[in-house]
A and B are shown apart, each in its own frame.
Chain A
């Protein structure tokens, strides 16, 4: 994991460890999503994905952990994301975020190692 300091209103960026197949399969099982796209290379190839992919929700879950770190554990009441790209084993996701001080919203994104946007999202901090 690496950290980079950012200008005012921007939070630390963090890079997660490369996605691996065990992680992908275990995560897919944990969300009850047993699509062979997540563990069967042959199937994923025949479906046009070029190999197993990671569930989009894995990027969201990593983003939640990232926000937990950069916000010092402050609870997030709501989160919304849009998935932009597929993720394959070996990809390294870097998370970035900035705070809107007026609305208390946090806008965040995840980029892969080619600096392509994988996910964009927004989180709110209102207490539950």
Chain B
């Protein structure tokens, strides 16, 4: 059994994060389907909420090298309105991890759940599935 299996269910981080207007604006400006549109009020993309998760720490826990990590799936649901500048309590949780064979090569998958609480209410929830080329690291 993979040693990383013991990480399933672990809350990797539980921390306060501010929705920084400058980062939201960068994200917004770089992904406009009409890039020349004058925009002074960037909307908060679902992607921006998912990005609040601490994926670096997840990879550190699993022992995966960043260059071997690919994005497989994402989903996010907004449950309460969120504004720029809001301070959210963000939980990053390892929901599942497993390996599969893809074209005779192992591929590891990590399901990471992200929860964003605002004023003690769940404001958004999401999940990102990361694929690890070559599978999970073995050994010590």
Contacts and interface: CB of A to CB of B under 8 A. Distances in A.
Contact of B75 (A37, A43, A66, A78): A78
Interface secondary structure of B, over-half rule: mixed
Nearest to B53: A32
Given A27-B27, A27-B31, A82-B72, A35 B66 contact: yes
B35 A17 contact: yes
Contacts of A16: 33, 35
Contacts of B76: 78-80
Interface of A: 1, 14, 16-17, 23, 26-27, 29-33, 35-37, 43, 47, 55-58, 60-62, 64-66, 68-69, 76-83, 95, 124, 128
B81 interface: yes
A33 B51 contact: yes
A43 to B, nearest CB: 7
7 contacts: A26-B29, A57-B74, A61-B30, A62-B32, A64-B47, A80-B75, A128-B80
Contacts of B71: 55-57, 83
Contact of A68 (B29, B43, B51, B56): B43
Interface string B2-31: 000000000000000000000110110111
A60 B51 contact: no
A80 B33 contact: no
Nearest to A24: B30
A126 to B, nearest CB: 9
Residue among B34, B69, B80, B81 facing the most chain A CB atoms (10 A cut-off):
B34
B118 interface: no
Given A30-B26, A30-B30, A32-B51, A79 B46 contact: yes
B110 interface: no
A1 B33 contact: yes
Contacts of A17: 35
Contacts of A30: 23-24, 26-27, 30, 48, 51
B61 interface: no
B32 A65 contact: yes
B73 A80 contact: yes
A36 B71 CA distance: 15
B30 A58 contact: yes
A79 B75 contact: yes
